[in-house]
Amino acid sequence: MKRRPVVIGVAGGSGSGKTSVTKSISKRFPEQSILVIEQDYYYKNQSHLSFEERLNTNYDHPLAFDNDLLIEHIDKLLQSKPVNKPVYDYKMHTRSKDTIPIKPKDVIIIEGILILEDPRLVDLMDIRVFVDTDADIRIIRRLTRDIKERGRTFDSVIDQYVNNVRPMHLQFVEPTKRYADIIIPEGGENHVAIDIMATKIETILTKNRTNN
């Protein structure tokens, strides 16, 4: 009987350092196969809307995500079944026709700003992490990412932050801290917190091997 993968949720505000935490965890387990599923890939398909309508999407609201599909994919992975992860086109503001085939791994890391907001997702996780970073650091990181990687302008990033990102963070993201098992300040640079997580993950992996 194949052992159940360890499922880790890494949440936190936009630009908080979730990716650096995920990379730090992965480095601690070079012998294990690790799969990262980004919630950002699961924005809802908007192909039925005009481009102008798509521009008005609030990407920081829980309703922007297709959590039904995300949960379906995680369930399949936990049953040792492969899935095709969607790809989101940030320039066209809708889901791409391309997909990424992914296979089950020993450790599944779910990463995203609102993964702790949906109780169905929370229930699937063995470890729940919230990366807590000051707002000024987060906005600088978001500016750099969106301009370099997503083709955004400086003004559009600032406008989105003021009108959507900040209020949605305070309303929806920040409150999910209460569901975290571990809160990590400073992201991947907090080596003590990463050590604690690595120990917990190894304990679960060992238990799963023993039970199977």
Chain centre distance of CA 22: 9
Read off the pLDDT of each residue in 69-90 and give the average, rounded to a whole number: 95
Q: What angle do CA 16, 17, 18 make, to 5 degrees?
A: 100
pLDDT tens per residue across span 81-129: 999 999 999 889 899 999 999 999 989 999 999 999 999 999 999 999 9
DSSP-derived 3-state class of residue 200: helix
3-state DSSP assignment of residue 83: strand
Looking at residues 27-37, what average pLDDT do you find? 84
Q: Round to whole Å and give the CA distance between 130 and 121.
A: 14
Question: In this model, does residue 1 exceed pLDDT 80?
Answer: no
For the chain, domains (ranges, CATH) are: 6-211 (3.40.50.300)
Q: How many CB atoms neighbour CB 78 within 10 A?
A: 14
Mean pLDDT score of the chain:
90
pLDDT tens by residue, 142-190: 898 888 887 788 898 899 899 889 999 999 999 999 999 999 987 767 8
The confidence score (pLDDT) of residue 43 equals 96
Determine the pLDDT at residue 123: 97
The tokens describing 185, both together, are 């300040």
Separation CA 174–CA 150 (nearest Å): 25
Sequence length of the chain is 212
Rounded to whole angstroms, the Cα distance separating 191 from 84 reads 33
Give residue 27's pLDDT: 85
